[in-house]
Amino acid sequence: MDNYIVSARKYRPSTFNNVVGQKSLTTTLKNAILNNKLAHAYLFSGPRGVGKTSCARIFAKTINCMNLTDGCEACNACESCISFNEQRSLNIHELDAASNNSVDDIRSLIDQVRIPPQIGKYKVYIIDEVHMLSQQAFNAFLKTLEEPPKYAIFILATTEKQKVLATILSRCQLYDFTRISIADMVEHLQYVASQENVTAESDALNVIAQKADGGLRDALSIFDRVASYTGGNITYLSVIENLNVLDYEYYFRITDALLKGEIRNCLLILNEILEKGFDGQHFITGLAAHFRDLLVCRDESTLVLFEVGASIRDRYMEMAKQCPEQLLFRAIELANQCDLDYRDSRNKRLLLELTLIQLCQLHETDRTIPDDKKKS
């Protein structure tokens, strides 16, 4: 049997151009290499799975490449690049501070810094999850970080920059990695699907991207899981079933019933949702987000805030035309208040039902308010 490699590892970027969703940062790093303006210490911070460690490795490979391309990318053909790709390069050292956070671990690293590179110009030291270092380890590291040898470059990576000592931050160039947009994530998932001979609906990939919450590594892990579940044919229905995601259809049915003031229908839809095993708080937070999406769909200028597939987008825009703006404001407020009260409520189902009853009454209230009062 062939050794299976998960997509998060198989499609890990090997050049700056392959990094997803961090174009401004990769451009800055490439320009620094091109202009030979390299700092001795960098700090990459941001959420998990957005490319911090990948960029650190690409940076380490590129600055030691003997034949840079015109686009300031590593050639992947010289001895330095080959040794890096085969994971036998002596110019890059990685330390996981989550499990190697003592003074002795840092002192061992400092001893390595004293040895100059045998091939290439620089030795790069990547310290992942640097915020996990102990106070004593931080203090032992300070002097070396401030005045390292000319050939040594430190790249610190962390998901919690606020926990890193200010004395460490002041000695580094700071790069803040952002969450990857849903559009960028969907585009990359489509590429991976094409490479793996997997058929995938755009709406299905959109749900995966939303579930990943800005982390591409999480998105690829979910993609692998769903691809295995569906046998390589990823559909919207299979994704929401496998990930236990509440279908948009329920929210549209609820909204339609609210607009008609059909309290009993709303309660029956809620019962259907709860009987399928969905958590009540998951439902109400999703409903609040649904009303928010309807609100941003009412105006062309705010459509950029709405990140879903094209087919569902059209349906949201059509439904938004039927929903008065003031009604949506109040609906979001009621749903959000229910979400806040849910944990402390003794009768959680009654709280949900009461909220739906209040939502149904909103449309009747809106119709009784004179138009001039609505505008004011």
pLDDT at residue 112 tops 50? yes
Of 97-101, 275-279, 329-333, which one has max mean pLDDT?
329-333
3-state secondary structure of 165: coil
Chain length of the chain: 376
Contacts (Cβ under 8 Å, ≥6 apart) of 352: 270, 280, 283, 284, 338, 342
Asked whether residue 370 carries a pLDDT value surpassing 60, the answer given is no
Mean pLDDT of 345-352: 92
- State residue 150's pLDDT score: 87
Name residues whose C-beta falls within 8 Å of residue 56's C-beta, 6 or more positions apart in sequence: 42, 44, 124, 126, 155, 157
Does residue 226 have a pLDDT over 80?
yes
Q: Is the pLDDT of residue 376 over 50?
A: no
Closest to 189 measured CA to CA, from 167, 152, 215, 155? 215
Q: In the structure, how many helices (H) and strands (E) does the chain have?
A: 18, 7
pLDDT digits (tens, 9 = 90+) for 70-106: 888 888 888 888 888 888 888 888 888 888 778 888 8
Q: Does domain 7-176 have CATH number 3.30.9.10?
A: no
What pLDDT does residue 174 have? 92
**Domain assignments of the chain as residue spans, ordered by start:** 7-176, 182-242, 248-375
3 state SS of 93? strand
Residue 363 has pLDDT above 80, yes or no: no
Q: How confident is the model at residue 309 (pLDDT cuts 50, 70, 90)?
A: low
Average pLDDT, rounded, for the chain: 85
At residue 308, the 3 state secondary structure works out as coil
Q: Are 303 and 296 in contact (CB under 8 A)?
A: yes
What's the one-letter identity of residue 140?
A
Find the mean pLDDT for residues 107-134.
84
Q: How far apart are CA 191 and CA 216, in angstroms?
A: 13
Architecture of domain 182-242: Orthogonal Bundle (1.10)
Q: Which residue has the tokens 């609040």?
A: 288
Q: Over range 296-322, report the average pLDDT.
A: 79
pTM: 0.79
**In the predicted model, what is the mean pLDDT of residues 327-353?**
92
User: Does position 227 have pLDDT exceeding 70, yes or no?
Assistant: yes
* C-alpha–C-alpha distance, residues 235 and 157, integer Å: 36
CATH of 248-375, one of 3.40.710.10, 3.40.50.300, 1.20.272.10, 2.70.210.12: 1.20.272.10
Q: Which residue has the higher pLDDT, 335 or 79?
A: 335
pLDDT over threshold 80, residue 2 = no
What pLDDT sits at residue 300? 77
Ranked by mean pLDDT, the top range of 73-77, 260-264, 368-372 is 260-264
Q: What is the pLDDT of residue 88?
A: 83
Per-residue pLDDT for 38 more than 70?
yes
User: Which amino acid belongs to residue 83?
Assistant: S
